[in-house]
Amino acid sequence: MKISIVGAGASSLFCSYFLIKKGHSVDLYEKESTAFKKFLIAGKSGLNITNDEELDSFHYNYFENKDLFKGLLKDFSKEDTKAWLQELGIENFVGSSKKVFPKTFKAAGLIKKIKDYLEESNRFNLYLNHKLIDFDNEKLYFEDSSVKYDKAILALGGASWKKTGSDGQFLSIFTSKNIKVNEFKPSNCGFISNIKSEKRIPIKNAVFSFMDKSIRAEALITEYGIEGGAIYPLSSYIRSNLDKSLYIDFYPDKSVEKIIDEFNALSNKLSYSNKLKKVFPFDKDLFEVIKRSLTKDEYLNFNKYLMTIKSFRVEIKRPVDIDQAISTSGGVCFTQLEDDFSLKEYSNIYLTGEMLDWEAPTGGFLIQGCFSISYRIIHALSLLYSM
Ligand SMILES: Cc1cc2nc3c(=O)[nH]c(=O)nc-3n(C[C@H](O)[C@H](O)[C@H](O)COP(=O)(O)OP(=O)(O)OC[C@H]3O[C@@H](n4cnc5c(N)ncnc54)[C@H](O)[C@@H]3O)c2cc1C
């Protein structure tokens, strides 16, 4: 059976591999002049291909879609991703925050292995510069051509990092057919806020709290506000509650009482600012940002200073522009799909990846999500064609 796939990204690479392995033929169409750009960029500074979080709690990373992903992850879990990497000869390791990396850190080696496998099969064709502009029950329509399909998988991505091709423009194809979509919004993104600095300043070993969620991780103060590993997992909550503040405990390892004792024990020969430097092990740029947030009187009042360190209030203005976000929420709604991810109104068209309305933190949960959805489709197609 020949399967047509549109959108050359992480999901379609996965689908192509397993479809070819099962003996099918694949025609993969991509609108850009090169394929897999987003996947390559994701893997530039260290690809988190999945995460080693416990199997029992993994699905909680998919927020309101956790029940759906619980089922999907049962069928294709982080262990299956690791086993697949082994099968491909890609060594992997578990790094900080349980992120799973290929040993080479980058996506390029993995992509090359899979592409070589696909090309060797002689049942795989890649068509670049093919922008999907419409579909019906028989054909996929590209800007300059159309093709008949039996089964098609659309894997058109989200709407951030447009230079990779993932621009979200395809949503209009669905709205024109009354297929329900939600607008794309930035996810795993930084926020414009009152804490900012011309020089990028890392915040290490702090606890970041937003409403009832707390995360101990690192973040970065930037020229516009705040971003980084601690902020991304909170981004969906922050985005939906912009009237609430984020709080940072810059020194979670010591209690207020212990810090006061240490401060009081210091010699009075030391200046006030030197005492602060002795008590708080911060980088000088961070000291400066904290000082700037206080009036002179507040700075000179140790109790007020300490309260600021233990609960620094970050006023959030808005998320960064969607194009700067690592991923997006929004896309085609799950209500428009059958359990096998085929469209209710177009039963031979399946949808996968970030083009669907779900979100998850970075750290491997996004790509794992793409793989787990894609696996459900592969499984459905295998059942159909084994009869
Ligand atoms: C900087 C960065 C770092 C990241 N790091 C990680 C990470 O470490 N771990 C992780 O899990 N995730 C990471 N991600 C997110 C991850 O890359 C994406 O979630 C994932 O690539 C989504 O895969 P996809 O197959 O859904 O879509 P994509 O990989 O975005 O592919 C979609 C493809 O569809 C094509 N397309 C779109 N519209 C059309 C059309 N009309 N016709 C034809 N083709 C079309 C696009 O050009 C694109 O090539 C990162 C993202 C970024 C930007």
165 CB less than 6 Å from ligand 1? yes
Return the bridge partners of 352, or none: none
Q: 157 C-alpha vs ligand 1 centroid, how far in Å?
A: 5
Half-sphere exposure of 261 (CA within 13 A, CB side): 5
Q: Which residue owns the Cα nearest ligand 1 atom 4?
A: 42
Distance CA(102)–CA(121), nearest Å, equals: 25
Pairing relationship of beta strands 181-187 and 213-221 according to DSSP bridges = unpaired
Candidate CATH numbers 3.40.50.300, 3.20.20.70, 3.50.50.60, 3.40.1380.20; the one for domain 2-186+329-385: 3.50.50.60
pTM: 0.95
Q: What is the pLDDT of residue 114?
A: 97
10 CB less than 6 Å from ligand 1? yes
Q: 144 C-alpha vs ligand 1 centroid, how far in Å?
A: 24
Q: 9 C-alpha vs ligand 1 centroid, how far in Å?
A: 5
Pocket test for ligand 1, best of 4, 227, 326, 378 (most atoms within 8 A of CB): 326
Q: 199 C-alpha vs ligand 1 centroid, how far in Å?
A: 30
SS3 category, 199: coil
Q: Which residue owns the Cα nearest ligand 1 atom 7?
A: 48
227 CB less than 6 Å from ligand 1? no
- Taking CA atoms, 345 is separated from 119, 168, 193, 329, 350, in Å, by 33, 21, 44, 23, 11
SS3 category, 22: coil
Domain boundary assignment for the chain? 2-186+329-385, 191-319
Sheet of 312-314: strand order equals 312-314, 246-249, 201-210, 213-221, 225-227, 191-193, 316-319
Q: What is the pLDDT of residue 387?
A: 45
Residue 95, Cα to own-chain centre: how many angstroms? Answer: 17
pLDDT tens, residue order, the chain (387 aa): 899 999 999 999 999 999 999 999 999 999 999 999 999 999 888 999 999 999 999 999 999 999 999 999 999 999 999 999 999 999 999 997 899 999 988 999 999 999 999 999 999 999 999 999 999 999 999 999 999 999 999 999 999 999 999 999 999 999 999 999 999 999 999 999 999 999 999 999 999 999 999 999 999 999 999 999 999 999 999 999 999 999 999 999 999 999 999 999 999 999 999 999 999 999 999 999 999 999 999 999 999 999 999 999 999 999 999 999 999 999 999 999 999 999 999 999 999 999 999 999 999 999 999 999 999 999 999 988 874
